[in-house]
Amino acid sequence: MLRPEINDLLCRTGPGTPMGDLFRRYWQPVLLAEELPENDCPPVRVKVLSERLIAFRDTDGRYGLIDEFCAHRGVSMWFGRNEQGGLRCPYHGWKYDVTGQAVEVPSEPENSNFCANVKLKSYPMVKRGDVLFAYLGDPAAQPPEPEWEAYTVPEGHVFTSKRLQECNWLQALEGGIDSSHVTFLHGGNIDTDPLFKGSKGNLYNKRDLKPYFEVVDYEGGLLIGARRNAEEGHYYWRVTPWVLPNFTMVPPRGDHPVHGHFWVPIDDGNCWAWTFDYHPTRKLTEDEIAAMRAGFGVHSANDEAYRPLANKDNDYLMDREAQRRGETYSGIAGIALQDSSLQESMGPVVDRTKERLVATDAGIIKARQKLRKAAEALQQGVEPVGNRPQDQRVRSVAIVLPADRSFVDGIGDAMIAEPSKPHTTV
Amino acid sequence: MAGFVKLSVPVGPSSCARAATSEEAAFRIDHPLASARNTRVVALDEVAAGIVREAAALEWGQARFFTVRDPGPTLVEVEGGEVALTGVLEDTNTVVMVSVTGENADAVAVIGVECGARGIMTAGLVVTPGALAGEALLQLRPYARILLVPAEPDDLVELLKATRA
């Protein structure tokens, strides 16, 4: 359980909140690159950390992320005309460049310098792989641009999707840290899902349904090791990294692509579940990408607005017959929706004063503690971790180790991402 | 059946669309949760005993605090009285073991085996700041279903509070 004030501290990410300030020390994914596919394409509304913004790509291919509303009369710039190096409000023709600077105010006299004094709030936005990342914080504290391995691999090695999750970001993140639910909720998927099946690790998973856990504190966040019995005198380890504040990776299976998530607050009652799959040493196959688009692995099948086709309006397409037949544990198809259906059912912001945690929730307890401490420390001027390149060169790992080895010693450099280095997987 | 729609749609108050709103959250039954965990905390060495005594000084529901030395069948309450491990475990459903130096391995094994036989959840805090491996870890690993490595001294209080001990 958490005291109400701590729950609020962790869940509220709007401007001026402690957790909002913390998030504003990190580059966050805000759009898929496909949402701004070409120069002068239509602008896109972006809501992130409870700020309403508009994103566009100008005539020269520069990305802009600016306040959604025109400085003149507060019109949404989503109605704007993206043309000739800027976004023009259709109401009175005020035009802004990618930095939010007004460059034309047609009603003013020629040679007027009025424009110079009109600037919308803007944030830097950069393309990495198939994703656009933005930084919403203090320019003076801006960290280096993101270097997550998924977004430094060669073209064709990564596929990213995003889906709307209609609950607070922390509920979604905690699902990514909570390894103990996997045996139950997702137990039916590892043998049938084209992005999981066939790995030797699946056998260990099925043979040992009561894993032990080790939660290891490390510089960028936590490493959560799930340990199962392997051959005599050996353990099968699945190691999930969490990097502050909202990045998690799932341990790999066989030669399948490896996947992970960013859990990005839209506002306090909604978030984007960003999901990536990449392979460090080869291109993804057409079949793999088709499977991801269809909602296999940890992706979901979505509508044009990136809302899952199975959502709370249709009870997530609950199939009690499939549940009875043992095809799914919860009756919901697909790992992503199995998670989000339950996390959304808690309500937009779950009341953690009423929860009843158990010892195996220690990873969640520790993550909350680290988030709280990081947010409080930032208020005292202490900069957080997780936004440095070395924090982001991290990998999840699946490995078999002798029983007497610390998994951190055992995996060694396997959790450090390097170009073209094969991932460590079973 | 003619007109049967297999996939459910929100037609009533039990649909997800209605049930998962913030408005509906306000109607959740509000009654105090009883403390469900009879948690026992055992310090496995002298340094750990300091951490456990500090935690014991706070207010708890049903948590009780002990130290132990090899060979282990007897626990020592923080107030000083000796009690038999088996008696302590009778009404217990979680045991948290705290180790700093990795001493008293026999006692850890005794506690671990007893807990395993009785279906008691075990957690271990390896309070070795800066060190990811060592005797304390190896000693606890076979017997703790979940381990925090390296734990900080305040992790014990955090864990106990979060689990309503």
CA A207 to CA B63: how far, in whole Å?
A: 35
Residue B133 distance to chain A (closest CA, Å): 6
Q: Cβ of B147 and A366 within 8 Å?
A: no
Tokens 């001294």 found at? B153
Contact between A91 and A73 under an 8 Å Cβ cutoff? The reply is yes
Q: Cβ of B25 and A347 within 8 Å?
A: yes
Q: Cβ of B162 and A351 within 8 Å?
A: no
Taking the Cβ of residue B98 and every Cβ of chain A, the question of whether any pair is shorter than 8 Å is answered with no
Instruction: Show pLDDT as tens, one digit a residue, over chain A (426 residues).
Output: 899 999 999 999 999 999 999 999 999 999 999 999 999 999 999 999 999 999 999 999 999 999 999 999 999 999 999 999 999 999 999 999 999 999 999 999 988 999 999 999 999 999 999 999 999 999 999 999 999 999 999 999 999 999 999 999 999 999 999 878 887 898 777 888 999 999 999 999 888 888 999 999 988 999 999 999 999 999 999 999 999 999 999 999 999 999 999 999 999 999 999 999 999 999 999 999 999 999 999 999 999 999 999 999 999 999 999 999 989 999 999 999 999 999 999 999 999 998 989 888 999 999 999 999 999 999 999 999 999 999 999 999 999 999 888 898 899 999 999 999 999 999
Chain B hits for A347, CB-CB cut-off 8 Å, are 20-22, 24-25
* Residue pairs spanning A and B at CB distance below 8 A: 130
Question: What pTM did the predictor assign?
Answer: 0.94
Tokens of B107: 């006692």
Q: Cβ of B146 and A317 within 8 Å?
A: no
Task: Please tell me which residue of chain A has the smallest CA distance to B148.
Answer: A215
Nearest to A215 among B22, B133, B148 (CB): B148
Q: Which of A251, A269, A214 lies closest to A14, judged by CA?
A: A269
Chain B hits for A406, CB-CB cut-off 8 Å, are 132-133, 137, 149
Tokens 């507060």 found at? A74
Contact between A230 and A236 under an 8 Å Cβ cutoff? The reply is yes
Peptide bond into A245 cis (omega under 30): yes
Peptide bond into B150 cis (omega under 30): yes
Q: Cβ of A357 and B9 within 8 Å?
A: no
CA A82 to CA A87: how far, in whole Å?
A: 4
Tell me, what's the ipTM? Answer: 0.89
**DSSP structural state of residue B165:** -
Nearest to A313 among B10, B25, B159 (CB): B10
Nearest to A314 among B7, B28, B164 (CB): B7
Residues 119-138 of B with CB under 8 A from A: 121-123, 132-133, 137-138
